[in-house]
Amino acid sequence: MSHCLEAVREISAVKHATFFLVCAGLLLSAEALAVDPFEDFHKYGELSEEEIHALHEGEFLYGDVEFGVLLNRGNTSNTAFKLKSNLYQDFKYWRNQFKFDGAYRREVDPDTNIEDETASRYFISAQGNYKIGQKNTSLFLYGDYELDKFNGREYTTTFVTGYGKRVFEGRKNTVDLDIGPGLSMYRRDDETELEPDQERVERGHLLRAALQWERTVSKRTRFNQDISYERSMSGLGARIFSETALISQVMGGVSMKVAYTYRYHSQPEEGKEKVDSEIGVTLVYSFN
């Protein structure tokens, strides 16, 4: 019975994520049939991602940083912080990308009036793309490292190498795809009790695919969909990460970002959920 309920919860989570993406796509497509309410504002989406990279070719660092904070006091008391960055280097043969994503939250238990951590997650990744001649085509090296205090694992890390290509480029849309094999490793924390067939450190091979869709909504607003899928070839399960975001310029290099984030792991540690999701509103500063 518990397995059936778990399966229903998984299907429900996937349906909710799919419904959100479909609704977002329909809303964005509707702009072709209506007057763009942002058309008279400061230009923002006029340059494509490729034009931005071409503009900054040879520069040591450019990109954006976002920050969010939430403070509640009164009937409920909590403090939450979010810091995220997406930075690039663009040289003649190499384009490098560095990402950081950190989230921290403390809450006061209303029954005991004791404040404690309820979230502490930090993720960092780096990817180097070697341009191989054809436009928007490359070979890449990718690595990431994640610390999540509440997922039952001390750390999780992956390393992937493969092929990247822009599979679609239109007037308002670009779609990029990376795919390749790699290695994964994670360590269960010391509080997790091991089953007879388990080890504290697990290693295996995987296949990873990542897709990024960027759509220009107006001269100051864009829509981003990032999704990655990792499938273990060594029986360690699968991971999905998805971020659906709408980013609109407020003034100058400052924008507001509304995002829905979905994380899924098919084999979580005992007592942990397979799905984590969040909806957030943050400010983004771009220095490109």
Over 50: is that where the pLDDT of 33 sits? no
Interval 131-183: pLDDT, tens: 887 778 999 999 999 999 888 899 999 999 999 998 998 888 999 999 999 99
The whole-number pLDDT of residue 110 equals 77
Over 80: is that where the pLDDT of 54 sits? no
Over 90: is that where the pLDDT of 126 sits? yes
CA angle 50, 96, 241 (to 5 degrees): 85
Region 225-240: mean pLDDT is: 95
In 10 A of CB 106, how many CB atoms? 15
pLDDT: which is higher, 75 or 36:
75
The whole-number pLDDT of residue 76 equals 67
CA–centroid distance for 77 within its chain: 28
Question: What are the φ and ψ backbone dihedral angles of 16, each rounded to 5 degrees?
Answer: -65, -45
- Residues near 143 by Cβ (< 8 Å), separated by ≥ 6? 125, 126, 127, 157, 158, 159, 160
Over 80: is that where the pLDDT of 29 sits? no
> Please, are residues 215 and 172 in contact by the beta-carbon 8 Å criterion?
yes
- Give the mean pLDDT of the chain: 81
CA angle 241, 244, 248 (to 5 degrees): 145
> Please, are residues 59 and 282 in contact by the beta-carbon 8 Å criterion?
no
Strand partners, 279: 260
What percent of the chain is modeled with pLDDT above 90? 48
pLDDT: which is higher, 45 or 192:
192
User: Which pairs from 109-113 meet CB under 8 Å and 24+ separation?
Assistant: 110/75, 110/76
CA angle 21, 123, 145 (to 5 degrees): 120
Length of the chain: 288
The whole-number pLDDT of residue 14 equals 41
The listed range with the strongest mean pLDDT (11-15, 69-73, 236-240) is 236-240
> Please, are residues 45 and 216 in contact by the beta-carbon 8 Å criterion?
yes
Q: Using CA atoms, how far apart are residues 181 and 233, in angstroms rounded to an integer?
A: 10
Distances (CA, A) of 46 to 18, 88, 134, 220: 29, 20, 24, 8
**Which class for 273: exposed (0-12), middle (13-18), buried (19 or more C-beta within 10 A)?**
middle
Interval 64-98: pLDDT, tens: 999 998 777 766 678 899 999 999 988 888 989 99
